[in-house]
Amino acid sequence: MSTGLIQPKLIIHGGAGSSLKGKAGADAVRRSLYTVITEVYELLLAGTDAKSAVIRGCQLLEDDPRFNAGTGSVLQSDGQIRMSASLMDGTQQRFSGVINVSRVKNPIELAEFLQTSDDRVLSDMGALELMRELQLPYYDPLTKIRLQEWILEREGNFDKAMAGVVAERELVSEAGRGTIGVVVLDSHGRLATGTSTGGKGFERIGRVSDSAMPAGNYADAHAAISCTGIGEDIIEECLAARIVIRVTDGMPLLKAFECSFQEAQSRKRDFGAIGIAADGTIAWGKTSEVLLAAYHDGEKMGDTLEMGPGTQTQCRVSRL
């Protein structure tokens, strides 16, 4: 007798930006991404629901100092770290998030709590009060390399638009966009997505990231999307919600990516996105040089690290 269960799907990203420096750089990022994929997919096979799997994946990526979220977040122009994160349950079509929160290890945990709150998006002071309410310990996410990066930019009066996407100088050149994201389709067909970031680095105090908006993180019962790249570009395209709505209206996921990225290319946008549809299709796309993403389609793991330059959209279709 059929159990009614399907093969789970999973895709994650660790940012988008300029080219990784050689095979060693790609291999180092790949190891980090595959470690997360392996743990989260095992949870999905054991029956973990989509939202819980997304939260765990985001925690693991936030805890990896290589990526710009949680530990390893970039510093803003005043030398402070302010992080943003959001979580969306596609089954309930419920969004929650925090904006510019400091002194917390895993911003995604605050977004998790807000899923059941009447007030589902909190900014800096509200998020700080929530931390106190939950009795979460204060945590300093600063790493030595991010501090050194900020000091060097201060000497140059912050002439760069943003910090490095990966917190290792030997892996990636300076111009990059760092965000982490997780998208899941669980064994019961439920979709969820989470996105977390330290921002773009060196930005004006109070700047708000797309990662805490439906523009950068969105899901319903038909598709789920997480974005990375230039937040302002993602917001102006309302990229995540645009792709999801197209799928909801009947467009295949890959076609929704293709249409959305073609439109964005004409406006010279700079970003990437990952997503899963309810039919099990996994898709990704980028206008940046590289997209640091990896996936598990139920049969094997794969990644996007060796995609060529320029705008591209691809998908992976496998059995449910």
| Count of CB atoms situated within 10 Å of the CB of 7 | 16
Integer-rounded Cα radius of gyration of the chain = 18
Strand-pairing partners, residue 316, are 282
**Helix, strand or coil, per DSSP, at residue 144:** helix
The catalytic residue among 3, 35, 38, 179 is: 179
Contact 233, 264 (CB under 8 A): yes
Q: State how far the alpha carbon of 42 is from the alpha carbons of 185, 222, 297, in Å.
A: 13, 24, 13
Question: Cα–Cα distance between 196 and 110 in angstroms, integer?
Answer: 11
Please name the residue that has the structure tokens 């000091």.
151
Answer whether 13's CB lies under 8 Å from 180's CB.
Answer: yes
179 is catalytic: yes
Please state, in angstroms and rounded to a whole number, the distance separating the CA atoms of residues 211 and 227.
8
For 302, phi and psi rounded to 5 degrees? -155, 175
Up-side HSE of residue 212: CA atoms within 13 Å toward CB? 27
Give the length of the chain: 320
Q: Indicate left, alpha or beta for 234 from its phi (over 0: left) and psi (-120 to 50: alpha).
A: alpha
Q: Is 258 helix (H, G, I), strand (E, B) or coil?
A: helix
Q: From CA 77, how far away is CA 276, in angstroms rounded?
A: 35
Helix (H) or strand (E) run with residue 39 in it: helix 22-45
**Which positions are annotated as active-site residues?**
179
